[in-house]
Amino acid sequence: MPLAAEAVSVSDPIHTSTPVDIPSNAALRTPEELAQIALEFAATDGWLHRVQLSNDHRWYERLHHGADYDLWAISWMPGQSTGFHDHGESAGAFVVVTGVLEEHRPGEEPQSISPGQSRTFGSDFAHDVRNVSLGPAVSIHAYSPPLSEMNEYELDGSQLVLRTHPSERSKSLSDAQAEPSAPATAITNASSIDQVLTRARARLRRLSPAEAFESAVAKGALLVDIRPAAQRAVEGNIPGTLVIERNVLEWRLDPSSSARLPVANDHDVQVIVFCSEGYTSSLAAAALQDLGLWRATDVVGGFKAWRSAGLPTTPE
C-alpha cells in the first residue's frame, strides 16, 4: 500500500474504485486534533519496523484507515520533496519524527519542522514539503476525512497553477486506494529501518542504564539527551545531562564544526546518547562515530529503562 499523503500528488481530483464513505454520524477531526493524534502515534514503537529508506523516491504507507481519519508514515532521503499539492477535501497535520523537513508556500518564508514539531492545515491547502537536510527524515501524517484525492500544482512566479498532466507520482494514490492492503512495491537497494538500525548497533558497544550512569559519574562521560522538548516535558529528565535535540546533534558535537559546543573539543570524548526507548539514539550514536567520535554509544532502553532502573530523574 505505497501511498502517503505527502508522497502523491495529482493534477485532477481522483475518483478511486474504493471511494471513502464517511458515515453520517462520523465526526471529522480538526487539524489540531489530527496533530495530537499524529504526535501520540509517533511516540509509539509498533510502526518503526515498517519504515524503509530509498534514494530513488520517498517511501510511504498507510498505517491506519478509520471512518474519520487515516494515518501515514513517510520516509525522506536528502533532496526528496512532494512538489506543490493539496489534499482535496481533507484537512490534515503531520509531525516530524526524525530529521528535519521544510514546508514551502507561495509568497511565504520556508518553515523548518524539527523532530516533535507539527504542522496543521485545512482542506484545499497547498504546500511543498522537502528534506533539504543532510540526513534522512521520517514523518507521520493524519487526514480527516481519510485522504482520497490530491491535486498537483506548478509554481508560476508567486502563483500556483493546476498541473494539466499528472506526474508519475500521482498514479500511486489511486493504486493504493484501490488496493489498500497491497504490500509496498519492492525497491532496489532499499533498506528497512530495522536493517539500518541493526547495522548501526553492530558498530556500538551499547551501555545498560547502570553502565551509563557509572561512566557519567565516575569517568566523566558526556550524557546527551536528544529527546524533543515535548517528550521531555512528559517523561522527565536525567540530572546533569546535556540536552541537544537530534536535528542539531552532529553540528554541536563535531570538534571541527564552527557551531560546536565548548565540550566538543576532542574526538576522544565519550558521548553517551539517549532517547526515550533506545532506537533513535542508536542511529544518532552511529552518526557521531561517522564524525570520528569513536567512543560514541547509546543507552539500551533509553530514558524509560533508566527510570525503571531507579536511577536519578527529575521532572521537567
Name residue 289's amino acid: Q
> Does the annotation flag 64 for ligand binding?
no
C-alpha 169 chain-centroid distance: 21
What is the layout of strands, in order, in the sheet containing 137-144? 59-65, 70-76, 137-144, 91-98, 118-121
**Three cell numbers, residue 296:** 560514541
> Does the annotation flag 15 for ligand binding?
no
Terminal C-alpha separation, the chain? 40
Measured at the alpha carbon of residue 160, what is the angle toward residues 154 and 163, in degrees to the nearest 5?
A: 40
> Does the annotation flag 267 for ligand binding?
no
Taking only Cα atoms into account, the Rg of the chain, rounded to an integer number of angstroms, comes to 21
Measured at the alpha carbon of residue 149, what is the angle toward residues 147 and 152, in degrees to the nearest 5?
A: 120
**Three cell numbers, residue 186:** 519492492
Q: Which residues are annotated as a binding site for Fe cation?
A: 85, 87, 127
Q: Which residues are annotated as a binding site?
A: 85, 87, 127
